[in-house]
Structure 1
Amino acid sequence: MVVGELTIESELVVIGGGPGGHAAACRASELGVDTTLVDDRPALGGSWLHEACVPSKQLVRLAATIRGARAAATSGVEFSTPRIDIERLRARTDETIARIAEDLTTRCRRQEVRHVVGTARFESGRQLAVAGSSVAPRLRFRRAIIAAGSRERWPDGLRRDHPRITGTAEALRRPSLCDRVLVMGGSASGLEVASIYAALGSTVTLVYAGDELIPHADADLTACVATHLRGQLASITPGVSIAGVDDIDGVDDIDGGVRVSFDDGSPPQDFERVVIAIGRASNLDDLDLARTKVQLDEAGWITVDECLQTTDPRIFAIGDATGEPMLALKAAHQGHLAAERVAGWESTFDARAIPAVLFTEPPLAWCGLTERQLAEQSIPFAVQRSQWVAAGTAGNLPDGDGFTKIIYDPDTQLVLGVGIVGAGAGELIAESALALEMGAVLTDLAATVHPHPSASETIGALARGPTGTDGV
């Protein structure tokens, strides 16, 4: 470390302290690489911890508890109407976030990762300026990993400072009990917010500009989720955006509501809260990447190869900075792999084994290639599907309303993709992710003994059909 001109030299600089950046920094230091982590927040964790995943999962569990209590009535068990202490709920979320942030900082300290608080931008392909840092206003590096994350997109012409209009981050971090809520956007976070607020007792209206929900998943999976959501929400309308928002009382009255007009010409509607969930945009604008050899794709994301190396050989990029899928688990996995590349390992990234989970009610999970992707690539495939209610075991479970599919190569029976809709889908998909990682064929899944009775049995049952080993 050289302090001559207030410049710190580090073998590796990681930009961003979210799940990807934190994983990269700790793994690199573990492998003996002198590492500096730069993040603009004093508390590590990025939007994953402070805005998105962690706050939402607190509410997802609460929503599941409320729905479970209501559903128990069909089995003869009745509960009184739940009373929700919203301030206590918010405090609990804040406590959880603070605890995880402290744990992340402790891990960095134990791994001897140098943590610099400030906003980084490139001065060249070898040096960073860090605004707001008196400790390291400049950093020289041999290698850099960009883990800058992403931010919520916002529609043009809509005020960001209106007390009744928020993004998903605010809706999840600071939930409120409202009679009428509008969610604009069919993104994963939008569907989760809609499902959560419906469980909390709000009448929720969902509109989205596109033609389909969750276009990255197969249509049969999303159709199953949409059917359930229609039973929870007041309405779901595709091909619609907000045209205008007016205060009902003519002022920004925090105790009032808003009147929303739509671009399809339908009558305006009144809401207490409007949540914008139209996807995410890159955080790359302020990095001055033009001073490096890093190139972006047409959508504005960093171009990387299977080694996660950018077009500047000294710089790697991971997580949301590289575009879809924008998942914390992808960022963390890529963080480990990029750190290993810096340390001289031959690690490579394969997106097919990355599972995606949508925490609606019911949840949806998938991994591998989708039917659409396979068709676009002209890859032959076959599909096995099963409704849980049609399976003697899963259908007899309390949450037996679900759906499983396996996509495979009809000649080699290589597993190409798996999709699951139903209670516990996020846990059930792990087996399939392992199957894809190890290059499993259907006989591998068919030979696996699954717990009974359980929804996981549908995976084994589906695999047995094409292998000629059908039966118990």
Structure 2
Amino acid sequence: MTYDVVVLGSGPGGYASAFRAADLGLKVALIERYKTLGGVCLNVGCIPSKALLSVAGKIRSAEQTDKGISFSKPTIDLEAIRQHRQTTVDTLTNNLALMAKGRHVDVYYGEGKFVSTTAMTVSNQKVQTSLEFKHAIIAVGSKAIKLPFIPHDDPRVLDATSALQLERIPKHLLVIGGGIIGLEMATVYQALGAGVTIVELGNQIMTGADKDLVRVFQQANKDKFNFLTQTQVTDVTATPESLKVSMTNKDDGFSLDVDAVLVSIGRSANGNTSNIAEIGVKTDDRGFILTDDQGRTSVEHIFAIGDVTHGPMLAHKAAHQGHIAAEVIAGHSAHFQALAIPSIAYTYPEVAWVGLTEEQAKTQNIAFKTAVFPWSASGRAIAAGNAAGKTKLIYEQKTERLLGAGIVGDHAGELLGELTLAIEFGATLEDIALTIHAHPSLHETIGLAAELGAGTITDLPNKKALLSHSN
């Protein structure tokens, strides 16, 4: 079989590129090593974790008893929760299969390997198939990083995939790594009854977000989690009774006996698989494939997208890269030139940010200011009992052009869309402040933050007006 495009990997980037290429009239094959489409994200990543987080959110909401209503302790049915997770996954993966069929994309299930720059084999337990192609898009993603001193074969040692199975809820779970994935799974397990300790090697959890946003999250969860930052796990020893975790911090060494350990220290690119390097596609020493802004690799007719390329390992980045690669192959002039790629921690409260953080602006020597609107002054947040949050705008000092933004609070991820669009459009504080936001609403805090920075706010003391009068 000969194809215009063969796509290796059916995650959000892979299926997006395959479907876009088919819509542009190309003959497309999509290769997936597992039995369903969707890759890590849909099957064992972002989608099932959000299904479980929705359950955790309902439990967390029921725990809030300050509004004249109280609920009894919830009854946890793990089998029903697992079924909800799987039904969510099955719905989306089945839809993908239907869309592939509707677009006449040929799907091959098995392990794909390059045998040359124009040919590939797909092997499974039944048969090996040979495919020839004019172009290829590599979307093989990434895998979880493992620590060599951890007994990974012990069922009490979890990774991001096995943690989603909810085989049991441990009395005490230790999470190694304070990134988004670890914090989201910690949120699920704590809501379902586990005591949780989070260990982070760096000086803050949720690396990449501004510290003031993270502090709001930590304050809201001080009674839920035990946070250990600037702490390194040095050994995990399995005994019949427990897992003994040895750690060191800046002051001393110590150990904890826990019932389970979740290893969530990041992911590594899969660029050293599938004979990718053997056919001349250049990778760096960490397995990332080198590409230009069209996704083109060192082999001109082969493209790469998603986690296997440099940049944030996010599904929405991969999908946009996939569209670009398909369009370039179809002869369109397209480039990946995103100014802002949003990041969201679907925790309670949510933490979301986009564009430049304060730390990044400082590193780039950009003269900037911030405008922060506290949710303690938001009518909607106060009425909902969720006033522990803030909306922050980071803007260029001279032009007041929006450079970045961060939100912590309920539905922060949903509120971020307006700010991502504002950065892409080069909006200023005045543009946002003059946009009428509904009252009372959470997204109103974006307009109020802009008014605060622009000096037109009436919902808080107006420092700019006070200064102008004093002068």
- Fold match by TM threshold 0.5: yes
Distance 2:325 2:167 in 1: 36
Distance 1:467 1:234 in 2: 40
Aligned to 1:216: 208
Task: Report if aligned partners of 1:55, 1:173 keep a CA contact under 8 Å in 2.
Answer: no
Aligned to 2:242: 257
Aligned to 2:372: 385
Query: In the alignment, is residue 80 of structure 1 matched against residue 72 of structure 2?
Result: yes
Task: Report if aligned partners of 2:30, 2:106 keep a CA contact under 8 Å in 1.
Answer: yes
Give per-residue Cα distances to partners, 1:301-328, cap 9 Å, x unaligned: 1122222222222111111111431111
Aligned to 1:58: 51
Aligned to 2:462: none
Give per-residue Cα distances to partners, 1:360-404, cap 9 Å, x unaligned: 111111111222222222233221112211345544432221111
- Residue among 323, 326, 339 paired with 1:352: 339
- Residue among 4, 29, 33 paired with 1:11: 4
- Residue among 154, 159, 162 paired with 1:162: 154
Query: In the alignment, is residue 128 of structure 1 matched against residue 120 of structure 2?
Result: yes
Question: Which has the larger displacement, 461-470 or 328-337?
Answer: 461-470
Aligned to 1:447: 434
Question: Which has the larger displacement, 258-267 or 438-447?
Answer: 258-267
Distance 1:392 1:192 in 2: 28
Consecutive aligned runs of 4 or more in structure 1 exceeding 6 Å deviation: 133-136
Task: Point out where structure 2 has 5 or more consecutive residues left out of the alignment.
Answer: 460-471
Aligned to 2:95: 103
Distance 1:461 1:50 in 2: 39
Question: Which has the larger displacement, 206-215 or 158-167?
Answer: 206-215
Shift of 1:283: 1.9
Letter in 2 for 1:275: L
Distance 2:445 2:167 in 1: 37
Aligned to 2:228: 236
Distance 1:312 1:382 in 2: 44
Query: In the alignment, is residue 339 of structure 1 matched against residue 340 of structure 2?
Result: no
Query: In the alignment, is residue 308 of structure 1 matched against residue 267 of structure 2?
Result: no
Distance 1:228 1:296 in 2: 42
* Percent of residue pairs bearing the same amino acid type: 38
Shift of 1:470: 2.8
Task: Report if aligned partners of 1:245, 1:258 keep a CA contact under 8 Å in 2.
Answer: yes
Query: In the alignment, is residue 190 of structure 1 matched against residue 175 of structure 2?
Result: no
Aligned to 2:304: 317
- Residue among 266, 274, 282 paired with 2:261: 274
Aligned to 1:3: none
Shift of 1:135: 6.7
Query: In the alignment, is residue 21 of structure 1 matched against residue 8 of structure 2?
Result: no
Task: Report if aligned partners of 1:352, 1:369 keep a CA contact under 8 Å in 2.
Answer: no
Aligned to 2:405: 418
Task: Report if aligned partners of 2:114, 2:120 keep a CA contact under 8 Å in 1.
Answer: yes
Distance 1:292 1:373 in 2: 37
Distance 1:237 1:369 in 2: 24
Task: Report if aligned partners of 1:14, 1:21 keep a CA contact under 8 Å in 2.
Answer: yes
Change (3 A) 1:237 1:224: same
Distance 1:233 1:290 in 2: 43
Shift of 1:468: 4.0
Distance 1:326 1:131 in 2: 27
- Residue among 212, 219, 234 paired with 1:227: 219
Aligned to 2:29: 36
Calculate the TM-score normalised by the size of structure 2: 0.92
Task: Report if aligned partners of 2:369, 2:394 keep a CA contact under 8 Å in 1.
Answer: yes
Task: Point out where structure 1 has 5 or more consecutive residues left out of the alignment.
Answer: 1-7, 250-255
Shift of 1:440: 1.8
Aligned to 1:145: 137
Task: Report if aligned partners of 1:116, 1:136 keep a CA contact under 8 Å in 2.
Answer: no
CA RMSD of aligned residues (A): 1.9
Distance 1:97 1:368 in 2: 30
Task: Report if aligned partners of 1:195, 1:229 keep a CA contact under 8 Å in 2.
Answer: no
Task: Report if aligned partners of 1:244, 1:262 keep a CA contact under 8 Å in 2.
Answer: no
Distance 2:82 2:179 in 1: 24
Give per-residue Cα distances to partners, 1:298-355, cap 9 Å, x unaligned: 4331122222222222111111111431111111122122211211222222343221
Aligned to 2:168: 176
Partner SS state of residue 79, structure 1:
coil
Partner SS state of residue 74, structure 1:
coil
Letter in 1 for 2:32: D
Give per-residue Cα distances to partners, 1:173-205, cap 9 Å, x unaligned: 335222111111112101111122111121111
Shift of 1:357: 0.6
Distance 1:466 1:183 in 2: 39
